[in-house]
Structure 1
Amino acid sequence: MNETKQDTKIQAIEIAKNHLQLRGYNGFSFQDIAAELGIRKASLHYYFASKEDLGLALITDYMQSFQIWSEMHEDREPLEKIKKFIDMYNTFSQDGLKVCPGGVFCIDYNTLPTKLKKSVCQLQEQIQDWLSETIADGIKSKAFKATLKPKETAVLIHATTQGALQIARMQNNPKAMKSISMNLVSLLER
């Protein structure tokens, strides 16, 4: 794929991410993406055979981005990692009250094609595995309470951050996400 075509594909993914996080997977169409790109809908099929393929490309992009993000923060202390995780989710709220990608796909989960459902689960597992490892490290270093169960606490943090984004959107209050989520920090500390 030449550079211009690769640029178009990248632009399509970025436009789709914006639509996804503001309107949900079922809230946008190929036509919406093509119109913003200034191309015909049929031309978008050159890059993605179907909307499902576009959704899979979105999940791949989100997973790669999370991997890069987690590597950027790997040398931080566990408590700081959790705070940075909350900050990362807070950026969605600060950007037009967007919802996190995993949360959006979960809302539309029952209507997603099978391959996309599997990919969404992999994204959720990637995030929860990272959280679980971070919590286990925090317990080991005595920064977190010894009674915490890493996997269950990871799900709690993930669910709270996703839910806090939705509450912030409903309240039209971008600051609500962080204030809700930061309450978790005090539950972790010794």
Structure 2
Amino acid sequence: METKAQALEIAKNHLQLRGYNGFSFQDIADELGIRKASLHYYFASKEDLGLALIEDYIQSFQQWSEMHEDREPLEKIKKFIDMYNSFSQDGLKVCPGGVFCIDYNTLPAKLKKSVCQLQEQIQNWLTHVVTEGIKNKSLKTTLKPKETATLIHATTQGALQIGRMQNNTKAMKATSLALLTLLQK
């Protein structure tokens, strides 16, 4: 794996375990076994690294959502829950969007904008899926799609954080599936 790709993978791990403000270029350089100055060859600043991380997450979510586009709405939501659960199963990591939201007030402006694009992408996808579920009557028809999408998103992100604090890898999935049961017709 090339150095830039390795640096991104290391940064993802640090981000989801420690937060954006919880790691430095030096941490990544040390893990790669290179000088910090060498890392600047690939990323001019930590902000540039953060932007590359978010771009990678946006592309990954796009590919993931395309892979599941032919599924029924409830199955899509369950797959979404499974995706978030995989973070919990991987060392009690928090989802990328959730981590950036925690550090949001300390992020540079360009990074804030990029974080909002990631969250908007997920929110729009969930809103579309909930709308499909209401139309095919697999979800309660009294639901408002946008608010329900926010509820699903907030529950998955929040349950990851609570599970981490409780050292409970099962909390996220159990909580999210309980919510889904309440939303079903």
Which interval holds the TM-score relative to the shorter structure?
over 0.9
Between the aligned partners of 1:173 and 1:75, the Cα distance in structure 2 is 32
User: RMSD of the alignment, in Å?
Assistant: 0.7
**Alignment correspondent of 1:110:** 105
Q: Following superposition of structure 1 onto structure 2, how do residues 22-171 of structure 1 map, counting pairs within 5 Å? A: 22-171=17-166
5+ long unaligned stretches in structure 1: none
For the pair 1:178 / 2:173, whether they are aligned, the reply is: yes
Between the aligned partners of 1:185 and 1:151, the Cα distance in structure 2 is 15
Between the aligned partners of 2:61 and 2:182, the Cα distance in structure 1 is 25
Partner amino acid, structure 1, of 2:44: A
Partner amino acid, structure 2, of 1:15: I
1:119-148: CA deviation from partner (whole Å, max 9, x where unpaired) = 000000000100000000011111111111
Q: Deviating runs (4+, > 4 A) in structure 1? A: none
Matched residue count: 185
Q: TM-score normalised to the size of structure 1?
A: 0.96
Percent identity, please.
83
Q: TM-score normalised to the size of structure 2?
A: 0.99
Between the aligned partners of 1:144 and 1:182, the Cα distance in structure 2 is 14
5+ long unaligned stretches in structure 2: none
Between the aligned partners of 2:129 and 2:176, the Cα distance in structure 1 is 16
Partner amino acid, structure 2, of 1:158: H
